[in-house]
Structure 1
C-alpha cells in the first residue's frame, strides 16, 4: 500500500492573485424556456455543490497558448449545447425544481499563482492541498436556487502548468453528467465544433409514475434509530487517503469465503465500513449504515437511458447492522450485506424512489450513523485533455464532505510505473483516524499507509 511521499517544502510561501469572477455566457444565443428536473434530481439529498480540481503540466507544444483563454472560450462554446447549465434553478409547487434557461452564464475566475507543480507536491492524492485557493468560494454563489449552477477557476502556475477547478450543483447532474460536460469542453478546446456525445435532457424518464407508487422499503430516507450520533460535533475531523493495489485487494479477498465473487467496490465498501465502525468505538447495539451509491445508466433500463443523458441516474439504498454484529463477524458478513443491498437495484426501485419523493416532500437521506463510499473509478474524470495532455492528478477536491463526515470516495490512481491503483479517501475524527491507520498498518504490514492533508505546511497570501 505504498503512497507517494509528501514533497511540499515546509518553508514554501506563495502568492495567488485572482481577477474578479465573471459571468461566462454561452458563446451563442440559446433558447429561453423552463425545463423540469427529474424526481430523482430534485430530492433534498442532491441539493448541494461538489468541488473538484485537476493539475496540468507545462506542455512545450502549447507554447504561446494561454490556458485561461482556451478554457474560457471552450466552456462558453460547450454551454451552447448544455445551455440549461447557464440558467438558474427555480422551485415550484411541492418543492419541484426546474431550470429557467436564462443564459445568464456560469461563474468563471482567472488566477495566477507564484508556485510550481513540483512545489505543490502534485503526486499527493486526496485530500488535495490548497483547494480553497485554487477554487475561490465566491460569497453567495452556492445557494441552490437563483445562483449559477457551475463555477470554474483556471489558475496559471509559474512553471507553465495550470489548475482547473470547478464546483457544480448536484441537482443539475451527477458525476457522470459533469464528466460528459468536461469531455465536451476538452473536445472543443482541441478544435472540435461540437461534442462527440450530444447532451440529452429527457428528465421525464426518471419521474414518478402517475399515480405515484412506492413499491419498496426505502430505509435510506427513514431514521430507524433517532437520537444516536456518530461523534461529537466538537471533534476535529481529519482527511486521509489509503492506496489499494492488487496485493492489498488480494489480502482482503483472502478474508472472505473461497469462491465468493465480489467487485473491488463491494470488497472495499465492506472492509472500510467494518474498520471505520471499529475505529469509532461505537456502542455495541448502535445502528450503523452503509449507503451504496449505484449508477444505473446502462444496467437498469430497457431500452437504456439515451446516450448523452446527463441528469442524476443514481439511487442510494442502505445496508443496516449493529456495531457489534458488524465488528465481531468476519468480513464476509459485511460483504454479504453490501451485495444484498446492491441487488435491490431495479427499474422498479428507481420508480419507487421517484414516487417517494413526490409523496413525501423530497426528503434527504438519513446521514446520522451513515457511511457512504462513492465509486468514481469508472467515471472518466482523469481523461480530459484540453491541449496540454491529461491531468497529472485530480479528482474530488475533498476527501469527504464538510457537512457529512460519513462521505468518502474511491478514485483511480496511476503510479509512475503506469500501474493502476485505487485510492480510498474519507474523513474521521482525529483519534478514530489514528486507530484506523494502526489497523491498516497491522493488516497490510506497512509503515505508513496514509497521506494526510498538508495544508498546514505552506502559508498563502491571497488577493482578488
Structure 2
C-alpha cells in the first residue's frame, strides 16, 4: 500500500512583535533557584495547542483569537512580569532575571490548512512545526533573549493553533500551565488570575554551606568511550499508544507482588527502558540510565506555596548494565525505577540544589541515558482561551533540549475508538526503531513474567 505523503502547507506570518505588560511593572533583579538554573534546563522547550472552531465564550467579545490572546497576554504579564524580562548571568554562573519589562515575542500568522488535515488523531511529531512555531533569528539564546515566544496561527476551518516556546529555567510544566491558564482566564473575561503567581525561588536554593547528602547518579560525569550517544542522522520518529489493554499486557510481566501496586508510569518506564536498550544493542557491560522526572511539590513540609511557578522537580536515575536489562525479566527494571522515584524527598531536593552549587550547575548525564516525563496530569489540554479545551495540548515534539533521541513525554491521548490512554513519542536511529517495535510487540503479546527470562536471554544473545 502506498504511504500517504506528508502534510505540507503554507504559513503566512506577520513580523514578530514584543508584547509588553499592559501596566508598569517593577524593574528589579530576581534570582532563579539552584534547581532552576542548572545546565540541563538552559534551553527553550516547545508546546503546542490545537483548537477547533467554536463560538467564543461571552467574555472574549472579539472573535479573533489572535487579538484576544495578545491582549490577555499583555494583562497576564502584569502579575507575571518576570516573563517580560531577560536572563543575565552573575557570579558562579548564577542566573538572574532582569525584570526590564521588554516583553515576550508574539507572532500573528495564518495557515493554508484545516485542522482536519492534520489527521483524525493529533499527536507528535507534527508536520510543519517549524512554521507553526517560527524560530525568530537570535531569539533562542540562554541570555539576553525573550523568555517566551508565542505564535497564534489561524486555520482555514476557523480553528487556530497556539504554539509557545519557553525558557525552561523559568518554569516546569505545572508552572507553565499555571501561566497559560492565567492568560486563558483573562481572555475569557477575568480581571486577574484565580491563582496568584508566587516567586519565592529562594526556597529551592542551596544551603549554606552546601551539604550533598545523596549519591546523585543522574549528574555523574560519564565519558562516552564507545560512541553510544545517539547519532543525529537517520533518526526515525514514531508515537505509540498505550491504552488499558496495553497496560494490562505489560503488567502481566511484572512480579506478582508488584502487578497491582506499581503505577502506570513505573511499568511503562521499565518497559521502555528494557525495549529501548535491546533495540540500541549496546555492549552488555555498558551502564544504561533511565532518568525519571519527578514533581517534588508535594514532597516539601510545608508544601511549596500555591502559585509557585518555578522548576520543582528532580531527575532521579536508575542505572543497570545493558546485559542485565535485556536478560532479566521486566521486574528487574521495574524495581530499579521504583527505587529511583522513591528517593525523591525534600532532603533529596536540598541535596540536588547543593550539588548544583558545588559542581557549577552540572548537566544531567546524557551518555547512555534516557529521560522520561509524565505530563498526563499537567493540564495542557485543559487550557481554554475562550474557545473551549484544546483538541491537543502538550509537548510539540518528543525530545527534550538540543539532543534528539534522549527523552520522551507521556502525553494524555484519546484514540479513534474513544479510549483514553497515553501516547509515547520516541526518536531512535531508523534500524533501532525497527528493533524497538519488535521488542515492544514481543512484550505486549508475549508470555507473562514467569516465562519472560527465557525470551529475554535470546534477545541478549543477539546483541
Q: Normalising to structure 1: TM-score of the pair? A: 0.91
Judge which range, 342-351 or 271-280, deviates more: 342-351
Question: Residue 440 of structure 1: CA displacement?
Answer: 2.7
For structure 2, the residue ranges without an aligned partner over 5 or more in a row are 447-463
Q: CA RMSD in A?
A: 1.9
Contact 1:94/1:361, CA 8 A, preserved across alignment: yes
Contact 2:37/2:94, CA 8 A, preserved across alignment: yes
Report SS of the residue matched to 2:302. Answer: coil
Report SS of the residue matched to 2:157. Answer: coil
Contact 1:113/1:155, CA 8 A, preserved across alignment: yes
Contact 1:21/1:108, CA 8 A, preserved across alignment: yes
For the structure 1 residues 336 and 444, does the alpha-carbon distance in structure 2 shift closer, same or farther, using more than 3 Å as the test? closer
Higher relative contact order (CA 8 A, sep 6+): 1
Inter-partner Cα distance in structure 2 for 1:122 and 1:348: 46
Report 1:62-81 matches (<5 A).
65-81=63-79
Question: Residue 229 of structure 1: CA displacement?
Answer: 3.1
Inter-partner Cα distance in structure 2 for 1:146 and 1:73: 24
Question: Residue 357 of structure 1: CA displacement?
Answer: 1.0
Q: Which residue of 1 aligns with 2:41?
A: 46
Contact 1:149/1:168, CA 8 A, preserved across alignment: yes
For the structure 1 residues 417 and 27, does the alpha-carbon distance in structure 2 shift closer, same or farther, using more than 3 Å as the test? farther
Q: Which residue of 1 aligns with 2:360?
A: 361
Report 1:34-433 matches (<5 A).
34-61=29-56, 65-121=63-119, 123-224=121-222, 226-231=224-229, 233=231, 235-260=233-258, 261-298=261-298, 300-401=299-400, 402-416=402-416, 418-433=418-433
Inter-partner Cα distance in structure 1 for 2:112 and 2:141: 31
Inter-partner Cα distance in structure 2 for 1:11 and 1:51: 21
Question: Residue 13 of structure 1: CA displacement?
Answer: 5.0
Q: Which residue of 2 aligns with 1:455?
A: none
String of CA shifts for 1:152-187, please: whole Å, max 9, x gaps: 000001110100000000001111100100010111
Contact 1:225/1:287, CA 8 A, preserved across alignment: no
For structure 1, the residue ranges without an aligned partner over 5 or more in a row are 1-5, 447-464
Q: Which residue of 1 aligns with 2:22?
A: 27
1:14 matched to 2:9:
yes
Contact 2:230/2:405, CA 8 A, preserved across alignment: no
**Number of aligned positions between the proteins:** 439
Inter-partner Cα distance in structure 1 for 2:6 and 2:31: 51
Contact 1:74/1:188, CA 8 A, preserved across alignment: yes
Inter-partner Cα distance in structure 2 for 1:193 and 1:417: 40
For the structure 1 residues 208 and 240, does the alpha-carbon distance in structure 2 shift closer, same or farther, using more than 3 Å as the test? same
String of CA shifts for 1:249-303, please: whole Å, max 9, x gaps: 11111111113121111111100000000001111111100111111112x1111
Inter-partner Cα distance in structure 2 for 1:268 and 1:306: 31
Q: Which residue of 1 aligns with 2:440?
A: 440
Contact 1:228/1:369, CA 8 A, preserved across alignment: no
String of CA shifts for 1:200-238, please: whole Å, max 9, x gaps: 000000011111111111111113554233256354111
For the structure 1 residues 100 and 189, does the alpha-carbon distance in structure 2 shift closer, same or farther, using more than 3 Å as the test? same
Report SS of the residue matched to 1:326. Answer: helix
Contact 1:291/1:372, CA 8 A, preserved across alignment: yes
Inter-partner Cα distance in structure 1 for 2:443 and 2:251: 13
For the structure 1 residues 343 and 20, does the alpha-carbon distance in structure 2 shift closer, same or farther, using more than 3 Å as the test? same
For the structure 1 residues 22 and 285, does the alpha-carbon distance in structure 2 shift closer, same or farther, using more than 3 Å as the test? same
Inter-partner Cα distance in structure 2 for 1:445 and 1:336: 22
Inter-partner Cα distance in structure 2 for 1:440 and 1:410: 16
Contact 1:376/1:412, CA 8 A, preserved across alignment: yes
Report SS of the residue matched to 1:14. Answer: coil
Contact 2:232/2:404, CA 8 A, preserved across alignment: no
Q: Which residue of 1 aligns with 2:449?
A: none
Question: Residue 120 of structure 1: CA displacement?
Answer: 2.2
Judge which range, 216-225 or 185-194, deviates more: 216-225
Judge which range, 119-128 or 9-18, deviates more: 9-18
Question: Residue 114 of structure 1: CA displacement?
Answer: 1.1
Question: Residue 416 of structure 1: CA displacement?
Answer: 4.8
Q: Which residue of 1 aligns with 2:461?
A: none
